[in-house]
């Protein structure tokens, strides 16, 4: 039960998954709840894709590809090859093994099951003991306002490879979203000792979580230390577009400016 949680981690993407994996080696995974960004989620070929959730699940299950950092290890690509033969766009790759996750998730969502319930079941079946909680069971979509117009997150991040200049970022649907039950229980846990903000992209991975009404309020009401791990050690991004985004938004590249 998430009311036994002592550490909550706000996370998204590869960097956050690595921190959560490391934390699970020194803290009982059953005492950790990872609150995962779902602003990246989107529908592709009729399937619901949840990149940050799947990256964390695969990482904790020991199934993540260590070279790409996303998807499953020892992946094959027959499905994508067949799609390309039929003229379908191939800018977002879906591996043959990874496809099983998306197909079953989409089927269960269409039958009315919540993303939280599906995520819990899939993670447990893959041997993950940690509580993995989508930030919300409502759909929230990160929108990137650029010099090329408004782009969905995956179009900006994958199809356009983060090249368009960012003017601003918004989160469609966030105003009506609510935290998932597991998130509320974890942040209200009587055993809660700390909240950690992973070194995920502050604007693309952490801000979508905080944009969900009540999550920021629950964090402030928890009265426990909130520890933010900088994504800019020494003022430089390890990977990803964090530094580029800060330059384009006119923000100083420092840990303090991210906190502010």
Encode pLDDT of 186-203 as tens digits: 999 999 999 999 999 999
- What does pTM read for this prediction? 0.94
What mean pLDDT is predicted for residues 95-100? 97
Instruction: Let me know: does 186 contact 133? Beta carbons within 8 Å.
Output: yes
More confident residue, 67 or 140: 140
Cα(42)–Cα(172) distance, integer angstroms: 12
**Band (156; pLDDT cuts 50, 70, 90):** very high
- Among the listed residues 129, 119, 169, 172, the one whose alpha carbon sits nearest the alpha carbon of residue 146: 169
> For the segment 105-119, what is each residue's pLDDT rounded down to a tens digit?
999 999 999 999 999
Which SS3 state, helix, strand or coil, does residue 24 take?
Answer: helix
Q: Give strand pairing partners of 9.
A: 34, 196
SS3 call for 11: strand
Closest Cα partner for 35 from 116, 109, 102, 111? 116
The average pLDDT across 130-156 equals 97
Q: How many Å apart are CA 242 and CA 200, to the nearest integer? A: 9
Q: Among 141, 151, 154, 146, which residue's Cα sits nearest to residue 212?
A: 141
The pLDDT score that the predictor gives to residue 30 is 94
Q: Find tokens 């929230």 and name the residue.
A: 140
- The whole-number pLDDT of residue 18 equals 94
CA dihedral 241, 173, 12, 43 (to 10 degrees): -90
CA distances from 223 to 133, 157, 191 (A): 21, 35, 12
Distances (CA, A) of 148 to 5, 91, 152, 155, 196: 43, 18, 12, 11, 35
Task: Give residue 2's pLDDT band: very low, low, confident or very high (50, 70, 90).
Answer: low
211-241 tens-digit pLDDT:
999 999 999 999 999 999 988 777 677 777 8
pLDDT at 108: 98
How do 194-197 and 7-11 pair as beta strands? Answer: parallel
């Amino acid at each position: 039960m998430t009311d036994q949680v002592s550490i909550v981690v706000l996370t998204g993407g590869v960097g956050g998954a690595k921190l959560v994996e490391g934390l699970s080696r020194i803290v009982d995974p059953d005492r950790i709840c990872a609150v995962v960004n779902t602003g990246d989620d989107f529908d592709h070929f009729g399937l619901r894709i949840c990149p940050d959730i799947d990256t964390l699940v695969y990482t904790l299950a020991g199934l993540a590809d260590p070279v790409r950092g996303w998807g499953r290890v020892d992946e094959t690509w027959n499905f994508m090859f067949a799609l390309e033969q039929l003229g379908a766009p191939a800018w977002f790759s879906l591996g043959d093994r990874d496809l099983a996750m998306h197909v079953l998730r989409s089927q269960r969502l269409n039958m009315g099951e919540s993303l939280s319930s599906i995520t819990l079941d899939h993670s447990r079946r893959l041997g993950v003991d940690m509580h993995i909680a989508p930030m919300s069971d409502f759909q929230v979509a990160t929108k990137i306002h650029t010099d090329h117009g408004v782009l969905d997150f995956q179009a900006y991040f994958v199809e356009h490879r983060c090249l368009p200049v960012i003017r601003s970022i918004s989160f469609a649907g966030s105003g009506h979203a609510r935290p998932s039950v597991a998130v509320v229980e974890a942040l209200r846990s009587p055993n809660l000792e700390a909240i950690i903000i992973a070194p995920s992209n502050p604007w693309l991975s952490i801000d979508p979580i905080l944009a969900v009404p009540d999550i920021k309020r629950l964090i402030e009401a928890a009265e426990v230390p909130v520890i933010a791990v900088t994504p800019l050690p020494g003022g430089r991004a390890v990977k990803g577009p964090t530094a580029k985004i800060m330059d384009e938004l006119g923000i100083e590249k420092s840990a303090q400016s991210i906190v502010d």
